[in-house]
Amino acid sequence: MAERTTIANRWQTEFKAPRNAPDYYQSYGLGFYEYFLLAEDLHAAPLPILNCGMACQYNSGEVAADLEPYIQDALDLIEFANGDTSTPYGHLRAKMGHPKPFHLKYLGIGNEQWESQYFDRYKIFESRLKLAHPEIQLVSGSGPYNSGKWFDDAWSTLRKLHPSLIDEHYYAPPEWFLDQAGRYDDYDRKGPKVFAGEYAAHGKSGKAPESANSFYSALTEAAFMTGLERNADVVRMSSYAPLLANVNAWQWRPDLIWFDNLHSIATPNYYVQQIFSLSKGTEVLATTSAKAPLKGQDSLYASTTLDSTTGKIYIKLVNVSNSSRALTFRIKGLTTHSKSSSILGKWTLFTADSPQAYNSLQQPGLVRPVYLNFGQSNLMKRKQSQKDKNKPEQFLGYPLPLINNIGDDLQLKVTTPAGAVSVFELSLNPQKAIHRHINNTRQRHN
């Protein structure tokens, strides 16, 4: 495109000559075909977002007089992703080297757009696409802000329509993420579901590009994510943004992964995403303190999931305070039942020496999680006297978690360092009956 003010992002242009985009560093080396291949390699579901016949409203008021080409773009992309090889775009996909379909399930219409200009166009897209492809889940958008008139108007309008997901974006200071940990607690359980499609904590940064990805920003995102997980019946998907940035050519930060021509580094924010992704579970368990969700009381945030197929429980605990915290979790209705039974645990601990610590190309491993084993097992090969058998082992001056039976309940005693993300993974018998409630019974401040 010659200028940013012209409508762009017609997906088939990847098969034509590249265009210049003066306010973005783009090589146009990654088209939808490569995007689908990347999603396939990552075992992820692709979610392409298509132009709805509108330019960026911040830069231009331009809209397409004829929506038909843009609707056809969407139909053609679905055919390219899923169509039989006898179809024109299915044949093209096969010719490019991928005869099997990509199994596209989601499609977004428009990005960060608002008011009637957008809603009128979305209605037309929805009616046409649902008629032609009822199997595709459509994603609409709530605009560029996380609150305010445009946001409220979007939700009011879209509730009357039928998007499978409404895309919410929030780029905000770290403190916003702490305040919003309960954001979805009161969302309508019968309304449209949420895709937290773009978010990142924007805090203090230095001259180095990577410095915007501080540990503190990642810590506050983790606190917020406990709220996303606790409300998984409303928030179906989420994604940090942006994903990738070259340290020598960027116009936006923070970014999840930084790279140059030879190296790449994982940011603290990346590790938070990784920690949560590896402990998802299949069901959310209520995690309460004084009968209320733990979402900032005493600077603590928590969520818990159960993987019913493996019998694992994942307790996520985020401490954003400047002091350590000792807590006791009581898992109701779960016990080892006999002295010979054993429960193994793994503690994923993510903390840093400074809130502003970050990983760089020069120091890529400065901030990263550690993984520690604990629990009742003769595999631990430790020899303790009878009087010391309940004395927890230490790591960095903090006791390892300790598991006990209290009546019909399982008790887990933990101490979380100041400024830390912890996941306590308990490996249980998947056949055990579990009352789905975890109670934080006591806290001690150090």
Q: Give the residue numbers marked as catalytic.
A: 112
CB 356 within 8 A of CB 215: yes
- From 18, 53, 14, select the one nearest 37 (Cα to Cα): 14
How many angstroms separate the CA atoms of 177 and 200, rounded? 9
Cα Rg for the chain, rounded, in angstroms?
Answer: 24
How many angstroms separate the CA atoms of 423 and 436, rounded? 18
Tokens of 437: 């409630």
Tokens of 7: 């409508």
How many angstroms separate the CA atoms of 232 and 440, rounded? 21
C-alpha dist (Å) from residue 416 to 86, 202, 214, 263, 370: 59, 25, 20, 33, 13
How many angstroms separate the CA atoms of 315 and 303, rounded? 6
How many angstroms separate the CA atoms of 197 and 199, rounded? 7
How many angstroms separate the CA atoms of 379 and 4, rounded? 62
Region of 10 (left: φ > 0; alpha: ψ -120 to 50; beta: rest) is beta
